[in-house]
Structure 1
Amino acid sequence: MGNQIVESYIENKSIYEVLAIKVKDLLEELINDEGINVHHITCRAKDVEKLDGKLKRKNNKYSNIEEITDLAGIRIITFFEDDVDKIADIIEREYEVDRKNSIDKRALESEKFGYMSLHYVASLTKQRLRLTENKKFKGKKFEIQVRSILQHSWAEIEHDIGYKGEFAIPSFAKRSFSRIAALLEIADIEFIRLRNQLQEYGENVSENLDKNSESILLDKISLLELVKSNPDIDDIEKSVAKQLNWSYDKSFSFSDNLVEHNLKRISKNPELNITNIKQIQINLKKYKKEIIKSAVSNEEKATEGKSIGLVNGAAISYLIEFLEK
């Protein structure tokens, strides 16, 4: 039976390859729509040699190819552990989940060894299978693995060392494995806490930009929040773009990288005497006309009259250039 399954898989492997890609692409779109940032999403169809090895290990327990649930596989690696549950909600909503063959390895007992990962076995819903292009996927299942980047690191290292499971580990090494597993779990928790603190800080900065900005020190978050909302920045950039006949779209922005660059410039020029957000706000308002005039002149010389686009956050660069004169 094993040889028949392998032969059947060789004939149908291209279908599983397309299925894996199709599921991956849809998941990427759905995850982006939810505003979840992940490290990466990959997919694959199982290697024929690995399938053959699996059948031999399982003593040919499968009677047909459709009983094998991991011929198409998708792996999602998140930055944060709590995003695993958010992605799980998407999978449960969008696919037909095989509860019997799915497993949440994060629920392992604390004294057991092994990486924590969420494994779904699923198939396309009846609604999706009605589509002509999906009819070939009827009866075919796929596996989706979801885990954080730290959980993934554990899995990869554990695989490289060659020990999987508590009973495979020599007794003298169990203590070290326990310490590493605990450290990774703590790190996952601390990264989530840090992310939440930074988000809360950003919200507080946004609320206080017009109230108590002299108490807001310069950093990436505070400067980004200022770029997003300051009307003088918007006025300067729109005016410069208009006079140079450049395209300008505030929603299309590289301000994140630009902010980092400007922070470095400010830190290397203590004579600018800029240490908090209030000082930037004052200078932008006080020298708005002069900044625009200087920026237009400098850009005309630098670009030789070429029509290009202006990125959101450029006004901070123009301010620094003006103050440096």
Structure 2
Amino acid sequence: MTDNVQNNILNEYDNSLTTLQKLEKKVKELLQDLLEPNKANIHTISSRIKSKDSLSKKIERKNKYSYLRDITDIVGFRVITLFSDTVDEVAKILESQFKIDEQNSIDKRKALDPNRFGYMSLHYVASLSDIRGQLPENYLISDFRFEIQIRSILQHTWAEIEHDLGYKSKNSPPQPIQRRFYRLAGVLEVADEEFKNIRNDIEEYKSQVEDSINKNNLNKVRIDIESIKEFIQREPLVKQISQAISNKTKLRLLENQNVESDTIEYLFHSGYSTIGEIKRDLEKYRDKIIKFTVLWINESGRNNFGFITCEVALIRLSYIKLALIGNAPDIIERLKLFPLYIGTEEQFKQLAARILKTYEEINLSNL
């Protein structure tokens, strides 16, 4: 390649930089919109424009380009997924929404040596679809191609570490180090597959819990974060109690689909082990849970957030369960197992005394 050709491409790069920045912004926003339904399984979507220095080195190294548009990765995007099978889901979306340059695209999961775990990603060279490219606002960027890499987070982590160590070529490391790379690559590939299987098993477990709740067969459903989440979402009694608390305290009931792990610890250490036990006591102590919580909040004189979630019914149920023990020393021993932000003996004594006092007051109010 002559210096003249290289300089022409670099000059073209300088003159096109604003357009390339517009392309980067447009496609990144488009990727974010297209992949929004898969958001739970997408770790990051990143982008970059190749620097002039990097471009100059590539032109010199490849010695095959005549124009800037010949270079397919001037603008690059990377979609990092949590799970390996999400790569194919993302690929189907991109194939339907962009014009894919199949000749220059490569699925390195199939093409590379299996020991090259970190580089087993899917590389698409793409451009805007004909429909999007014809829009007036996309006229200047419609002819540019760009690269989209899709890989799992474990594949990405491996590639980044291996690259930083300077061993991008499989023949670069000394032989003993190369062998260790291969062994580690195998472990990570198994881990990638296992994370996917764990996710699938969790979904299957959630389906089983949902079925048990719908059939009111709860005595064998053990307490964990997934079973409690399904129980809160599907058991009307939980929301009824929480809504009553909200009405009486004037605190907004937040429709929160998440469950804090602390809630599981509260229930477990107050003596519950199955969802059936929780439902039984929610029914038995419904009015007491409401009165206890309202009194507890009112005596606190404040709520830092201005809202409550449905978990409040379960957390205060655990306090009532402790109050039923009846004596402060035993309550304190249980409280020490709770995920509380206190630690001194005096603080535990005060909390146990408050639990007993609040429970006594709501009982007196029924007389």
Same fold? TM cut 0.5: yes
Q: Is the 8 A contact 1:17 1:44 kept in 2?
A: no
The structure 1 residue matched to 2:65, chosen from 62, 68, 71, is: 62
Most deviating of 16-25 and 28-37: 28-37
Q: Secondary structure at the match of 2:140?
A: helix
Q: Distance in 2 between matches of 1:24 and 1:112?
A: 31
Give the CA deviation at 1:128: 0.6
The structure 1 residue matched to 2:51, chosen from 47, 51, 57, is: 47
In the alignment, what sits opposite 1:102? 105
Give the CA deviation at 1:322: 2.7
Runs of 4+ in structure 1 over 6 Å off: none
Question: Structure 2 regions of 5+ residues with no counterpart?
Answer: 324-367
Q: Distance in 1 between matches of 2:67 and 2:321?
A: 74
In the alignment, what sits opposite 1:223? 228
Q: Is the 8 A contact 2:229 2:257 kept in 1?
A: no
Describe the superposition over 1:26-56 as per-residue Cα deviations: whole angstroms up to 9, x where unpaired.
2122212245521111111111111111111
Describe the superposition over 1:132-176 as per-residue Cα deviations: whole angstroms up to 9, x where unpaired.
221111211111010001111121122112122333344444322
Structural RMSD (CA): 2.0
Q: Distance in 1 between matches of 2:134 and 2:310?
A: 45
Q: 1:234 to 1:11 in 2, by over 3 A?
A: same
Match for 2:82: what amino acid? Answer: F
Give the CA deviation at 1:181: 1.8
Describe the superposition over 1:167-191 as per-residue Cα deviations: whole angstroms up to 9, x where unpaired.
3344444322221221111111111
Most deviating of 300-309 and 2-11: 300-309
Pair 1:245 & 2:235 matched: no
Computing the radius of gyration over CA atoms, which structure comes out larger, 1 or 2?
2
Q: Distance in 2 between matches of 1:311 and 1:12?
A: 52
Q: Secondary structure at the match of 1:145?
A: strand
Q: Is the 8 A contact 1:73 1:144 kept in 2?
A: yes
Q: Secondary structure at the match of 1:256?
A: coil
Q: Distance in 1 between matches of 2:156 and 2:53?
A: 24
Matches within 5 A, 1:1-325: 1-34=5-38, 36-59=40-63, 61-110=64-113, 113=116, 115-209=119-213, 210-250=215-255, 253=256, 255-257=258-260, 260-267=261-268, 269=269, 272-304=270-302, 308-325=306-323
Give the CA deviation at 1:77: 0.8
Question: Structure 1 regions of 5+ residues with no counterpart?
Answer: none
Describe the superposition over 1:220-254 as per-residue Cα deviations: whole angstroms up to 9, x where unpaired.
1111111111111010111111222333353xx16
Q: Distance in 1 between matches of 2:78 and 2:61?
A: 23
Match for 1:242: what amino acid? Answer: N
Q: 1:57 to 1:71 in 2, by over 3 A?
A: same
Q: 1:194 to 1:305 in 2, by over 3 A?
A: closer
Q: Distance in 2 between matches of 1:167 and 1:77?
A: 27
Q: Secondary structure at the match of 2:259?
A: helix
Q: 1:52 to 1:305 in 2, by over 3 A?
A: closer
Give the CA deviation at 1:323: 2.5
Give the CA deviation at 1:292: 1.1
Describe the superposition over 1:182-207 as per-residue Cα deviations: whole angstroms up to 9, x where unpaired.
11111111111111111111111111
Q: Is the 8 A contact 1:112 1:165 kept in 2?
A: no
In the alignment, what sits opposite 2:363? none
Q: Secondary structure at the match of 1:137?
A: coil
Q: Is the 8 A contact 1:121 1:142 kept in 2?
A: yes
Match for 1:136: what amino acid? Answer: L
Give the CA deviation at 1:84: 0.3
Q: 1:36 to 1:254 in 2, by over 3 A?
A: closer
Q: Is the 8 A contact 1:255 1:311 kept in 2?
A: no
TM-score between both structures, scaled by the size of structure 2: 0.81
Q: Is the 8 A contact 1:36 1:83 kept in 2?
A: no
The one of the two structures with greater contact order (alpha-carbon pairs below 8 A, sep at least 6) is 1
Q: Is the 8 A contact 2:282 2:317 kept in 1?
A: yes
- Percentage of identical aligned residues: 35
Match for 2:258: what amino acid? Answer: S
In the alignment, what sits opposite 2:364? none
